Amino acid sequence: MENRTAAIAPRLRASWQRSARYGVALDEVQPVFTGSLDTESLFYQCGNEVLDGLRTTLVNEPVSLMITDADGLVLSRLCDDGSINRSLDRVHLAPGFSYAERDAGTNGLGLALADRAPSLVRADEHYCTELRGYTCAAAPVLDPLTGELAGSVNLTTWSHSSSGLLLALAQAAAGNTAALMLSRAGGRRMRPAPRGEVFHVYADNRDEAGRCPSSLWQNALTDAREAMRAGRVIAVVGEPGAGKTALASIARHELGRERVLSARPPAPDDIDAWLALWTPELSKDHTCVVVGGADTLPAWAAEELAGVFADARRTGPQPFVLTAEDFARIPRALSSLVDAVVEVPALRFRPEDILPLARHLGSRDRGREIGFTPAAARALSSYHWPENVKQLKRIVREAVRRADVVDARHLPAEVFSGGGHRLSRLQALERDEIVRCLTEPGATVVRAAAKLGMGRATLYRKMAQYDIKVPR
């Protein structure tokens, strides 16, 4: 296999090497089968609709159109060509079977999911000889609201009839699927794409440890400090915005490092430049590197980064930390370097931390001490914070622009509603106006109903509809 891998592109070569480590058979494809398919998801419905439209334009072409979930499980296959359908059945490229790299070796959809990048695998570029009669083009689909990997769009044809347009069609179908998902998600704003940031440097700030007095935070901080003191590589996991990088930043003092370099993965096309620009910092004994979103790195980039990290460890105590939502999703090349996993609990489980953090964030934004009335404090403490500290930071910044002593009426309406379902623009405006009337000084339900021009029973019904709770 050495001679064969030497002749192919670096991404494909890395995929072949992973396939060999997974123990994938060279001569026979043996994908895992599951009878449970998620056909109710927004991704499935939108992806199937886009591919059904594409099928009408390719009606006389021997091209099979597929969507898979984020784990490589084939969810749907659309094709009007009987011969290619029968052939794909023989290699189990059909709904219910997994074509992830670890199950089927190097193939188009498996590579697109592993690297989170559009991929074209032709004929003998497939790891398994049984797949070399096909050319596969695939593109990943990211959830437009969360940025998470939703799945992939895959187009497969005969290797001898391969078209240069195949990958372009797959990318267009993936983009149309994401756009359709967004349009049907209640008009919410799309999550911004990676901006290609190189890194951000945090200055020394030792008093941050006391900002969160809860036992859950302090226990996680103690675990991180002990692991660093022992020279271990740490993965800090938790929900987005929970404070993973902040915890690593505080704990790194155990290494005697004065500053933190925080690097987050950019767009896939920028990975090479991203690595080249900040990895030299690993050799500096005053810097601790935190690589955020390690579970979103393409597999090939993770392997390259793992090699850089392995070299850095030979010079002394580990100078880097990984953060991720889910440790299980960190590429194996990086996760194998981790000695300890520290979980940062979500802010909703740490109500004791909310007010101290709010005061700190408000004072930092305004440059002076900021206060909160009891009503505002109760509202902040009882809210469930789905976006964690990131959301708290945004809400406090908005409130302290209006007053140095924040009252309930200075807080945005989202703090007083459950947010269990998506609202249209008109519904959001109505909810916001109800909250504004209910949080005015001296407000009662009767006064608010009169001001809104509705009956008290109607107002109670609206409060229940929007799950509005205004602490007294």
| Domain boundaries of the chain, sorted by first residue | 2-183, 200-345, 348-465
The angle at the Cα of 255, spanning 252 to 261, to the nearest 5 degrees, equals 50
- The C-alpha atoms of residue 235 and residue 343 are separated, in whole angstroms, by 8
Of 117, 119, 85, 114, the C-alpha closest to 100 is 114
Q: Please answer whether residues 202 and 249 qualify as being in contact, where contact means their C-beta atoms are separated by less than 8 angstroms.
A: yes
Sheet of 340-343, strand order: 200-202, 259-263, 287-291, 320-324, 234-237, 340-343
pLDDT digits (tens, 9 = 90+) for 66-107: 999 999 999 999 999 999 999 999 999 999 999 999 999 999
pLDDT digits (tens, 9 = 90+) for 5-52: 545 688 999 999 999 999 999 999 988 888 778 888 999 999 999 999
The residues, ordered by sequence, that sit 6+ positions from 429 with a Cβ below 8 Å of its Cβ are none
Which fold, 348-465?
A: Helicase, Ruva Protein; domain 3 (1.10.8)
Q: Which residue did the predictor score with more confidence, 195 or 292?
A: 292
Q: Which residue did the predictor score with more confidence, 425 or 320?
A: 320
Residue 208 reports pLDDT greater than 60: no
Please give the pLDDT value at position 433: 82
pLDDT digits (tens, 9 = 90+) for 440-462: 787 888 888 888 888 888 887 87
Which fold, 200-345?
A: Rossmann fold (3.40.50)
Please give the pLDDT value at position 196: 46
Of 418, 417, 419, the C-alpha closest to 436 is 417
pLDDT-based confidence at residue 235 (cuts at 50, 70, 90): very high
Of 448, 428, 429, 439, the C-alpha closest to 399 is 439
The angle at the Cα of 185, spanning 386 to 140, to the nearest 5 degrees, equals 90
Q: Which of 177-181, 273-277, 417-421 has the highest mean pLDDT?
A: 177-181
Please give the pLDDT value at position 471: 63
For the whole model, what pTM was predicted? 0.68
Please give the pLDDT value at position 201: 62
Which CATH number describes the domain made up of 2-183? 3.30.450.40
Please give the pLDDT value at position 206: 45
- Phi and psi torsions of 297, nearest 5°: -70, 140
Residue 170 reports pLDDT greater than 90: yes
